[in-house]
């Protein structure tokens, strides 16, 4: 993969697909890398130019400075886009990448042609259900920013624990369990879990992941969602055990120019679990942008979830 030097940070990226036409910038999730978009390349590269980026501290990219934030990740992404001459990109952000994309849309509102948000959240006020616990509305959860000093003081101990686990012979089994609980629906494809586990362990940077986790705790843009003007597609797995569908509804209700597609039986990784439906949804959205002058927001569900008030 080619490398860019962004303020001393080595950012790995690669272009895939057409050399002209609409440009899609893919931004992956926490503990993942650009490889996690592998099932989008065959379907989308024939019509679009795809830019795959490894965020700082992920994949093959080097780490951020010690004191980082999602604003800083947004700034790094903007530098990459400018250095590569990407014009009017469509940002495709999944999970952490969706948070970065939201921040980018707020920081650089005139630089986007559209925004695609995949199983993400505008706030860190989230309590994963893991498929066993009840889903708790975000406004019932205490603001984690109040506990930031405590979180920061305990990252050293958490890092030590994770390093210890990573040295065990059973580390692959532990990683597979985490992928199963955090990244998929209740009945995931075993081959997909195995592949995700292998990729996760290949470029694991525990210190960087904890650093980004602290940055995520500080993130909350709920009150700024109405500022986003770019046409937006929100995709969410109906069985997401990390982020409940309520968060997708929250995004849709507050981003005026938005569509929402809930993908049935998909967990936190609908792009890997249900790639045909996921890719078809993106292509339909992009075609809609190209064929009509006025973007018409829609609400599309495979099953209708209830929004907690």
Query: Which domains, ranges and CATH numbers included, belong to the chain?
Result: 3-301 (3.40.50.1820)
What's the token pair of residue 252?
A: 């849709």
Residue 131: pLDDT band (50, 70, 90) is confident
What's the pTM? 0.90
Q: How far apart are CA 256 and CA 129, in angstroms?
A: 28
- Distance (Å) of CA 69 to CA 3, 91, 187, 295: 22, 19, 34, 32
What are the phi and psi torsion angles at 266 (to 5°)?
-100, 145
DSSP state for residue 10 in the 8-state scheme: E
Residue 135: pLDDT band (50, 70, 90) is confident
Nearest CA among 63, 59, 37 for reference residue 50: 37
Contact 270, 278 (CB under 8 A): yes
pLDDT tens by residue, 287-306: 998 765 445 555 554 443 44
Estimate to the nearest angstrom the gap between the alpha carbon of 14 and the chain centroid: 18
Average pLDDT along the chain: 88
Residue 307: pLDDT band (50, 70, 90) is very low
Q: Residue 283: its pLDDT value, please? A: 96
- Distance (Å) of CA 45 to CA 38, 94, 189, 225, 233: 11, 18, 25, 30, 19
Q: Helix crossing, 96-107 with 206-217: angle to 10°?
A: 50
pLDDT tens by residue, 212-229: 888 898 999 999 999 999
């Amino acid at each position: 993969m080619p490398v860019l030097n962004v303020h001393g940070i080595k950012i790995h990226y690669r272009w895939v697909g057409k050399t002209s036409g609409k440009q899609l910038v893919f931004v992956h999730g926490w503990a993942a890398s650009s490889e996690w978009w592998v099932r989008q390349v065959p379907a989308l590269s024939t019509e679009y130019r795809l830019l795959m980026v490894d965020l700082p501290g992920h994949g093959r990219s080097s780490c951020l400075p010690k004191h980082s934030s999602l604003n800083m990740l947004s700034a790094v992404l903007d530098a990459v886009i400018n250095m590569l001459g990407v014009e009017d990109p469509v940002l495709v952000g999944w999970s952490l990448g969706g948070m970065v994309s939201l921040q980018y849309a707020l920081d650089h509102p005139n630089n986007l042609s559209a925004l695609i948000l995949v199983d993400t959240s505008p706030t860190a006020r989230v309590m994963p259900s893991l498929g066993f616990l009840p889903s708790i509305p975000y406004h019932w959860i205490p603001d984690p920013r109040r506990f930031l000093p405590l979180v920061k003081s305990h990252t050293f101990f958490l890092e030590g624990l994770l390093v210890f686990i990573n040295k065990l012979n059973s580390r692959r089994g532990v990683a597979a369990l985490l992928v199963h609980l955090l990244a998929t629906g209740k009945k995931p494809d075993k081959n997909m879990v195995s592949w995700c586990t292998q990729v996760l362990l290949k470029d694991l940077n525990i210190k960087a992941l904890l650093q980004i986790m602290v940055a995520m705790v500080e993130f909350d843009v709920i009150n700024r969602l109405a500022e986003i003007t770019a046409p937006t597609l929100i995709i969410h797995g109906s069985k997401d055990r990390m982020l409940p569908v309520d968060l997708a509804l929250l995004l849709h209700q507050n981003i005026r120019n938005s569509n929402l597609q809930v993908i049935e039986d998909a967990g936190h990784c609908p792009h890997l679990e249900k790639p045909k439906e996921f890719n078809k949804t993106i292509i339909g959205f992009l075609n809609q942008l190209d064929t009509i002058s006025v973007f018409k927001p829609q609400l599309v569900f495979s099953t209708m979830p209830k929004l907690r008030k």
